Amino acid sequence: MLSTYQYQKFEYHPPRELGADKAVRHPVVIVGAGPVGLAAAIDLAQQNVPVLLLDDDDTVSVGSRGVCYAKRALEVLDRLGVADPCVDKGVSWNVGRTFFRSEEVYSFNLLPQPDHHRPGMINLQQYYLEEFLVKRARSLPSLDLRFRNKVVSMRAQDDAVALQVETPDGVYPVEADWLIVADGARSPIRRMMGLEAEGKVFMDRFLIADVVMKADFPAERWFWFDPPFHPGQSVLLHHQADNVWRIDFQLGWDADPEEEKRPEKVIPRIKAMLGEEHEFELEWVSVYTFQCRRMAKFRHGRVLFVGDAAHQVSPFGARGANSGIQDTDNLAWKLRLVMDGKAPDSLLDTYSDERTCAADENLLNSTRSTDFITPKTKTSLAFRNAVLGLARHYPFARALVNSGRLSVPTILADSVLNTPDEAAFAGDMAPGAPCDDSPMRAQVDHFWLLGRLGNRFQLLVYADKPGDVTQADALQALMSGSLPVDVILVTPSGGRSPHGFRVFEDYTGRFAERYDARPGSAWLIRPDQHIAARWRALDVRRVRQALARATCNQE
């Protein structure tokens, strides 16, 4: 039990399928109600896709586990209806500091620009995130969430996936049109299918100590290499909700995990770090190792893997849960279009293609971070220490310091769903990139751009005035097509559209700055807020072609 959090047991209800002669068929079954499985279920249910979510437990995760949630993940959680409670409860931060021995050598700011809705990162214990997600899931009529329902066997078929589910009252059969697997790094479903995740196991151990204390440290990420209070090793400090501080101590591979978790071993380490003047209580202690690996493909017929079931990374850089949430963001809209008959089955192959690309980027960064933090040879240790020694005075060395390259969204630059640029643009908002945020208003209503994007295809058109838009009839036809596109005019001065389009006023100029907007420019936005195409001159025929490409509907 934790002193700062009261665990609740979620109620088990006997499934109606118990004792049935025939398996009930569900459009989508998701296995695993951690943050990633819950995010997938909520995303689909919000789009009116019936979802059955199964979990073998009856409570949220034990201990803080996942801690850091990045700006992009928060933007996804916004669309799922849980970002506000997460940000309100969590500790927001943008600044990280790196120390070598007793001196600060490097710092960074995740959000140096103003006018973003969400911070660069929040720290929040995983059990709170799961609690907020469960509450949201239970509010959706299309989502059937069942605790203490364990999948004990599965059989993938051409047109369905057959499952056997064990409960306290017996076993019952289930069939799924589509199965989403979010059952964690040790994925029982993956083992049942005889599939592997390949990669590297890192021969090191780290101690997590969650400590309750009142301290005047700022809400920043602090990382020490070879500090005097833990010589020869590394230490990481994060501030979480409820005055809980997360401390990670590198121990080395030879450390005995059970011995290191004993309070008489943990408390002296913390006192050496904090000093005798800080009073604290141990909240939770764990020792972990980690792997960097992934499955070769995330799609296997009607079975789709997400989160840790598909890929695992080191905890340095906060790339685990953040990338898993982005998996679901990529998958949900594609699965819905395929289920609705508005896109071919091949669109789901692009889920695997895009997210294995993202996983490779995360694995590369995670491996490099781990190699820098835990050098395995005298030569690599000497190199690392030389870099840290130079970083205090020389910018070139700071670029080499790697205490965990923090989670950022993958730019899907090579996706087959993108339409390549035909004209020059400045800035980062290229095809494949997630949309940047900016303040907007419509009449007296102030809002954030990303709060009005997502869950459907949208076309942003920039104009000096709402009446300057050409091809209005063709744009209205685009809005009422078989795959509708929501048309939004963005202008620097607001006003009303004579053609009935929504108008967003870029009253701060941030949109024009970040998107390199000029009158006549247009951007086709995917349902997951990634840019599919952009043009300097609006041509609805080309928009239709880009929409077909973004949904694999090209002839």
Residue 555: how many other CB atoms lie within 10 Å: 3
Asked whether the CA dihedral 195, 199, 205, 206 is positive or negative, the reply is negative
Structure tokens at 319: 């790339």
**Integer Cα distance of 293 and 190 in angstroms:** 14
Backbone angles phi, psi at 470, to 5 degrees: -95, 170
Give the predicted TM-score (pTM) of the model. Answer: 0.95
Q: What is the pLDDT of residue 367?
A: 81
Q: Which residues pair with 238 in a beta bridge?
A: 246
User: pLDDT truncated to tens, each residue of the chain (555 aa)?
Assistant: 788 999 999 999 999 999 887 899 999 999 999 999 999 999 999 999 999 999 999 999 987 788 899 999 999 999 999 999 999 999 999 999 999 999 999 888 888 788 999 999 999 999 999 999 999 999 999 999 999 999 999 999 999 999 999 999 999 999 999 999 999 999 999 999 999 998 887 778 899 999 999 888 899 999 999 999 999 999 999 999 999 999 999 998 899 999 999 999 999 999 999 988 889 999 999 998 878 899 999 999 999 999 999 999 877 667 788 999 999 999 999 999 999 999 999 999 999 999 999 999 988 888 888 888 888 889 999 999 999 999 989 999 988 888 877 778 899 999 999 999 999 999 999 999 999 999 999 988 999 999 999 999 999 999 999 999 999 999 999 999 999 999 999 999 999 999 999 999 999 999 999 999 999 999 999 999 999 999 999 999 999 999 999 999 987
Tokens of 450: 């990303």
Give pLDDT, residue 363: 86
Residue 70 pairs with which residues in a beta bridge? 121
Residue 156 and residue 134: Cα distance in Å, rounded? 28
Which pair of tokens denotes residue 442?
């419509």
Note whether 227 and 101 are within 8 A (CB): yes
- Please provide the size of the chain in residues: 555
Distances (CA, A) of 308 to 15, 165, 291, 319, 356: 27, 22, 11, 11, 12
**Cβ–Cβ under 8 Å, residues 391 and 505:** no
Where do the H-state alpha helices sit in 82-142? 83-89, 126-138
Alpha-carbon distance 236 to 4, whole Å?
A: 21
| Residue 32: alpha-carbon gap to chain centroid | 16
Q: Which amino acid is at 40?
A: A
Q: Write down the pLDDT at residue 317.
A: 63
**Per-residue confidence (pLDDT) for residue 402, from 0 to 100:** 84
What is the SS3 assignment for 381? helix
Strand ranges inside 168-280, DSSP E:
170-181, 197-212, 221-225, 234-239, 244-250
Domains in the chain, CATH or no CATH each: 24-88+122-195+296-366 (3.50.50.60), 369-400 (no CATH), 439-550 (3.40.30.120)
Strands 150-156 and 281-295 come out as unpaired
Q: Which of 359, 72, 342 is nearest to 198 (CA)?
A: 359
- Cα separation, 273 vs 282, in Å, equals 14
Q: Give dist(CA 186, CA 165) in Å, integer.
A: 18
Q: What is the rounded CA–CA span in Å between residue 136 and residue 143?
A: 10
Query: Concatenated DSSP letters for 253-291?
Result: TTS-HHHHTSHHHHHHHHHHHH-TT---EEEEEEEEEEE
- Compute how many other C-beta atoms are within 10 angstroms of the C-beta atom of residue 351: 23
